[in-house]
Amino acid sequence: MSDPFELVNDLRALSANLWWSWHPEIGEIFQALDAERWQALRQNPIAFLDSFEPAELEQRAHQGALATRIEQALRRQHEGTRQRGPRANPEAGPLHPRPVAYFCAEFGLHESLPIYSGGLGVLAGDHLKAASDCHVPIVGVGLFYAEGYFEQGLDARGRQVEHYGRHRLDQLPIRQLCDADGAPLVVEVEVAGRPICLHLREAMVGRSRLILLDCDIELNPPEDRRLTTQLYGGDQRTRIRQEVLLGVGGVRALAQLGIRPGVFHLNEGHSAFATLELCARQMQEEGIDFEEARQRVARQTVFTTHTPVPAGHDRFAPEMIDEALGSLRERLGLDLRAFHGLGRIHLDDPDEPFCMTVLAMKMSDFTNGVSHLHGRVSRQMWAGLYQQHSPPAAPIGHITNGVHVASVLAPRMRDLFDRHLGPGWTARMDRPETWEGIAGIDEGELWETHQILKARLLDFVARRVATQEAPRGQEAGQILPGSGLGQEVLTLGFARRFATYKRADLILSDLARFKRLIHDSQHPIQILYAGKAHPADEQGKALIQKIVELTTDPDLGGRVVFLANYDMDIARHLIQGVDVWLNNPRRPQEACGTSGQKAVFNGVLNCSVLDGWWAEGYDGQNGFAIGQGAELPDPARQDELDARELYRVLQESILPLYHQVDAHGLRRAWISRMKWAMLSLGWRYNAQRMMLDYLRRAYLPAVGATTSG
């Protein structure tokens, strides 16, 4: 008997694993079923499929002649998500019985699972995807936030408004983990002297598992249930409790699931309490003392630090540590001095708060920053820690971040790569030779591809502006944002978290000059903005308001746009379709920055301060540099200098190059740079290279395997 809803079931199977999110042919199937609804439901395949009667859906799939495509996609998905054991990647063999446990407070996998706020989360998501692609066994550990991160609206004055809504659990690609009798698994963690229960939810990311802990369940009293409701919400007390749940709860969840990791990778210090739980367990199981347990745990622990901005490191007053973790201290057999000292550089300084980064560094033998420059800055920043302690902590090295190419590459650009980089190029992205084929791409075809992506972006912007909240430029003396955008105008993109050090308004610092750039009769520019400010960051919000106000200023001709509610969807459109990606943090505060890497793969040229990855990636020809990497002690002077350098590179390098055409009207000089950017940067700044670096330099040594690479 044949199943009347066979295709519907296949579609459901496709939506159940986030693998679909980096295989655009699947999104295209959903789009073919109902493009409008697919957009309206924010490309959430589960909500999308749910919105149809099965019979109607089955009929549509047949009518659209989608059966073959669906079956083919499902076959590929089976192949791409099947566990193939150590033989699939012998190099990762030693991790097979004992995988990597990868802890992070946020995971950015797709816009339909909004449990991320920015680059850290997207990086964590990319890490799981790359591990799946490379057959590196990994289990992600994070928190499930029922309300996620806020959705950003704008009020009539252009102020950011934060909306929180509960996600419908049944419309997310996660399932509850249960025991053999079908009862939900429960993990208990003592926080501030009270037991808190966690349910375990699981998302599948290709071959990688992601375990998400959730305390918003009936077993907990109402005041505890909200602890994991919002990402980076609440006060310090909420934050420390979330971190206890993530670290301690994560270790317990893995044990409960029978997973015995060979490596614990702490991605940022939020999860560092995990190491204390690991020590306590070792002490109990092996009858060893704390110091021996610490050494064993440190051998297995990899710590990645993500910011040189002091405020970016969680610090807690000792009393808060005692309140939240009192019983753990007893299990570790430590007195207050020793316990507080784990988070301090100066053990006996009572005024020094407990720093999660310090804890993570003391508890791991491998610590890294996320770019060459960030490694160096981190070594300076934490020098005090090495001098004080014996044995000295391992020095901080670096593994530069890379982006998951399949998640950000426009399908049209991918077609070009498929034709020029040779079969199987996606499995060899880390090798320079793989990218040599870029040279053979026809200039005209590359430009056409870029122009199509740009047109698609401008269309997307027009639709978003038409539906986004106020201000819409309806008032007297205002103009509709985006009404002056043009296909042939040099387009800059700037989108990321609105943290102050990223200086979203640097290009506006000389407003008269900016207006002249916008209105230049020969070579005008236009700029697209997006980004959220943390709800408690008044300065970031003021920046947003300043920019939003400008978008309706008639003097700017509708050529400045702010897209509300930045997410991975907006990010993809922007980094695929602008001409130049702008990045102007106050050096050296951007540890890496990854959005510019996403742009490179799509033929978008990066224009950046020499900070983060750009300080090592820029070679004079593969994009543009703002200034020469100067660091001035006075931030105001630094901003002034960098603004001047930004205007200069725009007017003296970028605009003349963009408008240089050959006898056939082709922007050959510009296109050569696009190609050189892909060729010179592609092999280094992808997540596959990053994954192999972690595997060879951090994971294999942590399990005592010798490395070959």
Ligand X SMILES: *Cc1c(COP(=O)(O)O)cnc(C)c1O
Give residues in contact with ligand X (CB under 6 A): 118-119, 122, 496, 567-568, 571, 583, 593-595, 598
| 119 versus 261: smaller Cβ distance to ligand X | 119
| 593 versus 682: smaller Cβ distance to ligand X | 593
Crossing angle (nearest 10°) for helices 54-63 and 67-81: 100
| 596 versus 603: smaller Cβ distance to ligand X | 596
Tokens representing residue 185 in the block: 């698994």
Shortest distance (Å) from residue 246 CB to ligand X: 21
Find out whether 645 and 608 touch, Cβ atoms under 8 Å: no
DSSP helix/strand/coil, 39: helix
| 420 versus 503: smaller Cβ distance to ligand X | 503
Pairing, β 100-103 against β 194-205? unpaired
> Per the omega criterion (within 30 degrees of 0), is the bond before 318 cis?
no
Shortest distance (Å) from residue 167 CB to ligand X: 17
Shortest distance (Å) from residue 595 CB to ligand X: 3
Q: How far apart are CA 362 and CA 298, in angstroms?
A: 8
Tokens representing residue 487 in the block: 């296909």
Shortest distance (Å) from residue 533 CB to ligand X: 13
| 119 versus 262: smaller Cβ distance to ligand X | 119
* Residue 138 phi, psi (nearest 5): -150, 145
Question: Comparing C-alpha atoms, which of 636, 582, 577 is closest to residue 609?
Answer: 582
| Cβ burial, residue 332 (10 Å; 0-12/13-18/19+) | buried
Shortest distance (Å) from residue 215 CB to ligand X: 26
| 126 versus 314: smaller Cβ distance to ligand X | 126
| 356 versus 568: smaller Cβ distance to ligand X | 568
Shortest distance (Å) from residue 565 CB to ligand X: 11
CA dihedral (499, 504, 506, 512) positive or negative? negative
Query: Strand pairing partners for 203?
Result: 174, 210
Shortest distance (Å) from residue 126 CB to ligand X: 9
Find out whether 265 and 101 touch, Cβ atoms under 8 Å: yes
Length of the chain: 709
Question: Comparing C-alpha atoms, which of 213, 212, 173 is closest to residue 49?
Answer: 173
Shortest distance (Å) from residue 457 CB to ligand X: 15
Report DSSP state, residue 173: S
Q: How far apart are CA 259 and CA 282, in angstroms?
A: 16
The residue at minimum Cβ distance from ligand X is 119
| 135 versus 573: smaller Cβ distance to ligand X | 573
Shortest distance (Å) from residue 153 CB to ligand X: 17
| 482 versus 593: smaller Cβ distance to ligand X | 593
> Per the omega criterion (within 30 degrees of 0), is the bond before 633 cis?
no
Judged by phi (left if over 0) then psi (alpha if -120 to 50, else beta), residue 116 lies in beta
Shortest distance (Å) from residue 593 CB to ligand X: 4
Q: How far apart are CA 81 and CA 614, in angstroms?
A: 34
Shortest distance (Å) from residue 118 CB to ligand X: 4
Shortest distance (Å) from residue 496 CB to ligand X: 4
Shortest distance (Å) from residue 163 CB to ligand X: 17
Q: How far apart are CA 380 and CA 352, in angstroms?
A: 19
Query: Strand pairing partners for 151?
Result: 163
| 548 versus 568: smaller Cβ distance to ligand X | 568
| 122 versus 196: smaller Cβ distance to ligand X | 122
Q: How far apart are CA 623 and CA 670, in angstroms?
A: 10
DSSP string, 107-136: B-S-TTS-B--SHHHHHHHHHHHHHHHTT-
| 345 versus 570: smaller Cβ distance to ligand X | 570
| 135 versus 496: smaller Cβ distance to ligand X | 496
| 300 versus 602: smaller Cβ distance to ligand X | 602
Token pair 């850290």 is at which residue? 120
Question: Comparing C-alpha atoms, which of 182, 183, 214 is closest to residue 200?
Answer: 214
Between vectors from CA 150 to CA 145 and to CA 152, what angle results, nearest 5°?
Answer: 160
Q: How far apart are CA 94 and CA 117, in angstroms?
A: 34
First to last CA, the chain: 53
Tokens representing residue 425 in the block: 């190029």
Shortest distance (Å) from residue 402 CB to ligand X: 12
Find out whether 684 and 431 touch, Cβ atoms under 8 Å: no
